[in-house]
Each structure stands twice: as C-alpha cells, then as structure tokens.
C-alpha cells in the first residue's frame, strides 16, 4: 500500500473533514468570545491553565474512544475502567512499598487486559460492541469495588500524587500527558499503517478484509489502545484526587463520546480526527468552566450544556 497517493475518495472525505472542523472551530471561538465578554476572569493565562487541567482526563478518554469509534466500534466501559485502574494504581502506590513504576505499570496492564477482553468478545465472539462494553462497564465497576473492598484507597505516596497535582515550568503534568497523547495518537492515525487500517476497517469492513487487512487484530488493538488510555486517565484522576475511588468516573464515557461526536467523528466509523476530538473536549471544558464562573444555577447548567452540544453539532451539519 502506498500512502503518498491519496485516492480521490479519501481526498473528498478530507475536504468534508475540513468543513466539519472549521464549523466547530467557529462555534468554539464564538463561545469563547461570549464568555470573555461576560466574565472578566475568563480570558487569562491562569484560567486557561485551569481549563486545560480540568479537560485533560476527559481528553485522554476521548482520544482513546476516538480510535474505537473510527474503527466502527463503541466503548461504554470507560468510566468504570477509570475507576478500576485508578484503584489498582492506588493499591500499589502506598509510600515505601513499591516503586512508582509498578503502580503505573499494573494500572496500565489492567487497562490493556480489559481492552483485550472487549476486543476479543467483539471480534471472536461476534457480539455487538455496545453489548460487550456495556457488560464490561458493570464488570469493571465490580472489580473496582472488589479490589478496594468498597472503600476509597487513601494514603498514597507524594511521588504518585505529584502526577495529578504537580507541574513543570508552570504547565500542569496532566496537561503535558494529554499533550503527549495528542501528538502520539495523531501520528498513529495519520502516519502509520495501523492508522490507515483503522479508517479502512471503520469505513468498509468487508473491503478492508478483502484487501488483506487483518480486521480482527486491528479492532482488538483499537480496544486495547482505548482501555490503555483509560488506565492513564485513571492514574491521573486517582493522583489528582489523591485516592483510588471505586465510585469515580461515573458516566465519564458519555462526556468522552460527546466530545468525539462534537469533533465531527462519525459514530458509524471510518471518519474522524484527533484534532476534532480535542476541539470537542475543549468546547465541553470551556462551557463547564464558563458557566461556573458566571455562577449559573446547576439546573440551568445541564440544560445549557445539552443545548450547546446539539447546537454545535447542528452548525456543523449545516455547513
């Protein structure tokens, strides 16, 4: 396969992607403008740092699920995987017991294992991704409660807590991790064979299979990337709140999937980009932050958030 010669179809899709991206970018800039005018504290380096730190967990999750959605799947187990891997990390992060790398490694291994099971059930078991990951949502939550005995795992080491709380040259570490994941996953999706295979499998599975792509392996990998990233989000969350919380991450998958869809990734697979997802994540983050700054009642907040998500998507489709 030669990657330097885009097919006509691909370039057409790319054009449509550009329109989608710019539609959303306009909406995003408009919302930022309105919020800057309404709230004095909004447009500042300090608040930008705060927003970036707040979105980093949802951002890491959204990028993970972008891989799965592009390949034509869905992952509803994200929030529970965040809780489970956060608990696993916390269990190995008590001061003076294990080196930090063990805590991180065990959590990521747990995430990869869950992704592997999801992927195998979808490919070998031929069960709909919606069902598999819905089941896994409950299983992972149960595992989190089992591993933690239903109580938050507290008393974690300073080095572990530094991941979520510390910063390097004024940039919070979660933001640096988020940034690194953006770069790495854009590279994988745009520049590697795996990336092209993911789009191909999501776009037309039969054609992908006919052209010799090992569809099942590609799909399993997408679930493993997704859950592996969820484990990183789990580590960041546990570290940020300095506890492994078995109840953490409730409904996180919904915010992640919302960000992906706002970013123009098609839920039917084959279309989508990391840039779009990042924009979706930022949009949700800016709305959350702005409405808090304006002290909008929490009842209205829910309505406004939902309406803005739908409106943003509408502007996008009109273009």
What is the binding site for another protein (CB under 8 A)? 39, 41, 44, 46-47, 50, 53-54, 57, 145, 150-152, 154-155, 165, 237, 240-243, 245-248, 250, 288-289, 292-295, 298-299
Closest CA to 223 of 31, 88, 27, 70: 70
> Minimum Å distance from CB 44 to another protein?
8
Which of 123, 245 has the CB closer to another protein?
A: 245
> Minimum Å distance from CB 27 to another protein?
22
Which of 150, 306 has the CB closer to another protein?
A: 150
> What residues are paired with 171 via a beta bridge?
168
> Minimum Å distance from CB 300 to another protein?
11
Read off φ and ψ for residue 190, nearest 5 degrees: -95, -30
Which of 51, 208 has the CB closer to another protein?
A: 51
> Minimum Å distance from CB 311 to another protein?
23
What is the DSSP-derived secondary structure letter of residue 168? Answer: E
Q: How many CB atoms lie within 10 A of CB 305?
A: 16
Which of 146, 210 has the CB closer to another protein?
A: 146
Which of 224, 291 has the CB closer to another protein?
A: 291
> Minimum Å distance from CB 301 to another protein?
8
Buried-exposed string 81-114: b where 16+ CB fall within 10 A, e elsewhere:
bbbbbbbbbbbbbeeeeeeeeebbebbbebbbeb
User: CA 195 to CA 218: how far, in whole Å?
Assistant: 9
């Amino acid at each position: 396969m030669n990657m330097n010669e885009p097919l006509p179809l691909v370039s057409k899709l790319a054009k449509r992607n550009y329109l989608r991206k710019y539609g959303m970018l306009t909406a995003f800039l408009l919302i930022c403008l309105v919020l800057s005018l309404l709230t004095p504290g909004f447009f500042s380096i300090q608040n930008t740092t705060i927003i970036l730190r707040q979105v980093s967990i949802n951002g890491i999750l959204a990028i993970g699920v972008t891989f799965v959605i592009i390949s034509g799947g869905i992952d509803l187990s994200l929030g529970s995987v965040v809780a489970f891997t956060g608990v696993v990390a916390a269990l190995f992060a008590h001061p003076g017991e294990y080196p930090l790398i063990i805590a991180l490694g065990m959590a990521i291994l747990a995430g990869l294992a869950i992704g592997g099971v999801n992927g195998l059930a979808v490919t070998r078991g031929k069960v709909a991704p919606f069902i598999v990951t819905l089941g896994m949502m409950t299983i992972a939550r149960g595992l989190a409660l089992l591993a933690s005995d239903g109580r938050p795992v507290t008393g974690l080491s300073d080095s572990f807590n530094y991941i979520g709380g510390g910063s390097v040259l004024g940039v919070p570490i979660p933001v640096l991790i988020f940034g690194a994941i953006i770069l790495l996953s854009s590279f994988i999706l745009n520049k590697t064979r795996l990336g092209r295979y993911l789009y191909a499998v999501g776009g037309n599975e039969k054609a992908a299979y006919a052209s010799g792509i090992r569809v099942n392996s590609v799909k399993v990998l997408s679930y493993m990337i997704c859950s592996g990233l969820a484990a990183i989000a789990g580590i960041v969350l546990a570290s940020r709140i300095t506890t492994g919380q078995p109840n953490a991450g409730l409904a996180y998958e919904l915010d992640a999937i919302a960000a992906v869809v706002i970013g123009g990734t098609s839920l039917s697979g084959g279309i989508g980009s990391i840039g779009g997802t990042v924009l979706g994540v930022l949009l949700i983050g800016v709305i959350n932050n702005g409405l808090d700054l304006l002290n909008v009642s929490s009842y209205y907040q829910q309505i406004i958030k939902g309406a803005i998500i739908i409106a943003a998507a509408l502007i996008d489709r009109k273009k």
